[in-house]
Amino acid sequence: MKELTYFNGEFVEPGAKVISIDDRGYLFGDAVYEVVRVVNGRCFALSYHQDRLYRSMREMDIPVKMTPDDLMELHEILIEQSEIKDGYIYVQISRGVAPRRHAYDRSKLEPQMLMSIRTLDMEEVAKLGEGVKAISLPDERWGHVDIKTTNLIPNILAQTKAEKKFAYTAILFRDDICTEGATSNVFAVKDGILYTHPADHRILKGITRQMIITRIAPSLGITLIEKEFDSEFVKNADELFFTDTIGGVIPIIKLDKDAVSGGTPGVITLRLREGLEKLMEEGLA
């Protein structure tokens, strides 16, 4: 079992110096990316991630040079060659290489593609099910976080502030409305009903979020409403949790200085986490 890196058509050593200093991804964060879970030697929900990747490329005006089938095959090759059973695959596509200039000439740029496969510490992932601490911070990101770009400075600053306070991550608020987490989506439970922010330009349409909304909550008979809610609603929620590709459903047991659901993972949250884990074990293309 070994971690692998693939760049523009060939395997290279992890950490190899292969990216040009004129790559627009390096200079401007002018790139898009995806992170896909590998479960039992298979990609989970890869078609959903690919749909989002290609949408991000269209929104960013980055030419699509690879078919979904070819990209799917590359994911399978990385898993086969690495022999990694539980991990994740990172794929990044930048606009290309050119002398530093803000505007770009689409006809003169060739997108650059980087992929890597890494192992996951499954004990650490399982530990997230015991619950995490979060802090509240203002949402200072740009106006189209629905596009999954590598330009993540506000997320990085928020995540660093959270970790300095020994929190897992931060819940973000824009004009007192809860949008999402610094690295994840946010759900709240009140009176047995599940709430999350609508999938508009103010949040990233997370793949795990989609699994909860379209598959797991309906299968468990849990009512879900996509609507905006404010900090007061969050403060009075019976349960709170994050969703992301790596951690799945992550119970929030403390927000700032206050305990959530008595300081233990909520019943509905745990049901959803178990439902997601079952779906991942069963597999989803």
The catalytic position among 65, 108, 148, 278 is 148
| 148 is annotated as an active-site residue | yes
Structure tokens at 178: 């809860």
CA distance 243 to 250: 6
Own/partner pairs for 244-247, CB < 8 Å, 24+ apart?
244/181, 244/183, 244/184, 244/185, 244/206, 244/208, 245/35, 245/36, 245/37, 245/88, 245/206, 245/207, 245/208, 246/35, 246/37, 246/88, 246/120, 246/125, 247/125, 247/128, 247/184
Phi/psi for 210 (5° steps) reads: -60, -40
Catalytic residue numbers, as ranges: 148
